[in-house]
Amino acid sequence: MLGSIATPGREEEPEAYIIHEAMMVLMRHCQRTVDDYAGVFVPKEVMRTEEKQSWFVLLKGYQSADEIRDNGRHWQQLLMFLMRTQRPHE
C-alpha cells in the first residue's frame, strides 16, 4: 500500500510528480488567497453557531510553508493513490 501513496520521483514518474507538485502549488495559492483577501472577520464568522453568539477567538488562518506541506500531504497521497490505481497495470 505504501507504494500507491509514496511521493513520486521526478525521473521515475514524471506525470505523477507534476500532479503531486501541482497540488502543493494549489494549497499554497489557497493559503495566500485567505491571507490576502479574507482578513480576520471571516474566521470570526465561521465560529458563530447562533445568530447572536460571538466568539472572540480567531481560527488559525496563517500557516507556514512547513505546516501547509504537512497538512496537505494527505491530499497529495490521495491523488497519487487515484492516479496509480486508475492507470492500466498488470
Please report, rounded to a whole number, the percentage of residues in the chain having pLDDT higher than 90.
Answer: 33
Q: Average pLDDT over the chain, rounded to whole?
A: 79
Condensed to tens digits (0 to 9), the pLDDT of residues 39-72 reads 656 666 555 667 776 665 555 556 777 888 888 8
Q: Regarding predicted confidence, which is higher, 85 or 52?
A: 85
CA distance 32 to 18: 21
CA 43, 48, 51, 55 dihedral sign is negative
Domain count within the chain = 1
Q: In which domain, by residue range, is 71 found?
A: 2-86
